[in-house]
Amino acid sequence: MPQSEAQRRAKAKYNAKAYDRLELKVLKGNKEIIQNYCKDKKTSVNKLMNDLLDEQLTKYGYRLIKRVNDNCISNDK
């Protein structure tokens, strides 16, 4: 069943409050390669990017904020 207009507004309001957005630009053709990789691995492009960022930043001593069951877990833990 499609979302109602009220549901779309509520979701957009929550997303604006809970998330920051980043734009990622890749060379022509790489988008399809990334999407095919994610399809093969049964993951989303968003999860792939978040996992790769987390791995790289952790390697250099940075810790990202994690969300578990709609609760933010501080990066201080």
Q: Is residue 68 part of a domain?
A: yes
Q: Is residue 33 part of a domain?
A: yes
Q: Is residue 10 part of a domain?
A: no
Structural domain harbouring 68: 27-77
Query: What is the domain count for the chain?
Result: 1
| Summary count for the chain: helices (H), strands (E) | 3, 2
Q: pLDDT tens-digit profile of 30-47?
A: 999 999 999 999 999 999
Name the percent of the chain lying above pLDDT 90. 77
Q: What is the pTM of this model?
A: 0.76
Residue 72, H or E segment: strand 71-73
Query: Residue for token digits 């207009």?
Result: 5
Residue 20: pLDDT band (50, 70, 90) is: very high
